[in-house]
Amino acid sequence: MSALSRRNFLAATGVGALAALTGCAPGAHRPVAATYLTTSYDDLYPGVERFLDTARALGGFDFDVFPSGQLLGAEELVPGLLNGVADVVLQTSSYVSSSFPILGSLELPFTTEHFDRYLRACDPASPVSALINERLTGQNMRMLGGMATGFEYLWTIDKPIRAPEDVRGLRLRVAGEIEGETVKALGGAPVFLGSAELYQALERGTIDGMMSYLGTVVSRDLQEILRYGTAAHFGAYTVDAYCRQDFYAALPPHQRHALDEAGKVLFRDGTATLLDVHQNQYLPAVRDAGVELIELDEAGLRPFRDAVSAVHERWRALLGDPVAAQRALDLIRTA
């Protein structure tokens, strides 16, 4: 995206009037935090609140906070951040990993089937996060920390998926490019839809199913329509806090420390809350609705793992740095 002034970007995205009314127009000094997430995300929004509270308490940040896409929609958050419309954004990695391909290392399918290992890789203090920030710095971005949302499963209405050939010909909703490549590698047709459109699309048969983490299913009441879920590491993503590197570098040390600590809280406490909600609320809701969760043994997983190897190769090519790509994958697999 070409460089825009803050005022022109706000006008172009239709939020200039809102920005002027709320004190985040050009010339204002209060930092702006924005996310597309709504307060109804019981698994995700508590982490957002803990992040903001920690930054306020430790760094004195007096944020103007815009949830629910009030300032910037999901597709606009990072462009808005880079153009100075917001100072901190909380965003799902799948929306931005095509522009910042190093983030895709944590989205790839079947890098590890051990969620505990994946969690350690997502830790803001991990070598994986350090490598990610090394790469993001060149694009004036910094990842402060994020919540790991759990592995993405394949969910269907009429046909259970137990082998890659079961995916052939299915129209499956995806939310990001790596998810789309994974569906294609398995023989399906990826369909890009917003989560608000899913219920109607499934009900009408416009799509046959979806790839998603558990929270999307329950937050949209999709367990009322879905009948099968194949539980494996078909993908993953994180909900991260980002700021501009130049914004971060210009802060006094105590405020940089506050943002770093807030990122750790987002990862630690936010992820813990998410997993608790999934275990004690969302999974029972899915099972009570009669959705069959299909678990695959090692023999069942192997054909899927082989089929998605092309997704890994495409990501390596997109990153354009074979050494960094291999280092990222090795760090995740050994976390």
pLDDT digits (tens, 9 = 90+) for 99-157: 999 999 999 999 998 999 999 999 999 999 999 999 999 999 999 999 999 999 999 99
218 in any annotated domain:
yes
Confidence of residue 94 (pLDDT cuts 50, 70, 90): confident
- The two tokens of residue 120 are 């350690």
Mean pLDDT of the chain: 91
Residue 241 covered by a domain: no
- The band of 195, judged by pLDDT with boundaries at 50, 70 and 90, is confident
pLDDT of residue 6: 44
| CATH number where 220 lies | 3.40.190.170
199 located within any domain: yes
* Total domains in the fold of the chain: 1
Strand order in the sheet with 171-174: 189-192, 171-174, 209-212, 152-156, 228-235, 292-295
pLDDT over 70 (residue 10): no
285 within a domain of the structure (yes/no): yes
Q: Is residue 202 part of a domain?
A: yes
pTM: 0.88
Tokens encoding 200: 């109607």
Res 11: pLDDT: 44
In 3D space, the residue among 205, 222, 116 whose CA is nearest the CA of residue 158 turns out to be 205
Quote the percentage of the chain above a pLDDT of 70: 91
Q: Answer for the pair 120, 180: CB distance below 8 angstroms, yes or no.
A: no
Residue 125 lies in a domain: no
Query: Nearest 5°: phi and psi at 88?
Result: -140, 135
Q: Quick check: is 291 in a domain?
A: yes
Q: 85 near 72, Cβ under 8 Å?
A: yes
Q: What confidence tens digit (pLDDT) does each residue in 276-328 have?
A: 999 999 999 999 999 999 999 999 999 999 999 999 999 999 999 999 999 99
Residue bearing tokens 């992040």: 51
Please choose, from the candidates 173, 139, 130, the residue with its C-alpha nearest in 3D space to the C-alpha of residue 154: 173
How high is the pLDDT of residue 20?
38
Out of 24-33, 76-85, 159-168, 209-218, least confident range: 24-33
Q: Is the pLDDT confidence value at 2 over 50?
A: no
Separation between Cα atoms, residue 32 and residue 29, nearest integer Å? 9
Give domain status of residue 301, yes or no: yes
Under the banding of pLDDT at 50, 70 and 90, the label for residue 86 is very high
**Domain ranges, residue 156:** 152-236+280-333
Q: Give DSSP secondary structure letters for 218-287.
A: HHTTGGGT--EEEEEEEE--EEEEEEEHHHHHHS-HHHHHHHHHHHHHIIIIIHHHHHHHIIIIIHHHHH
- Give residue for tokens 């899915």: 286
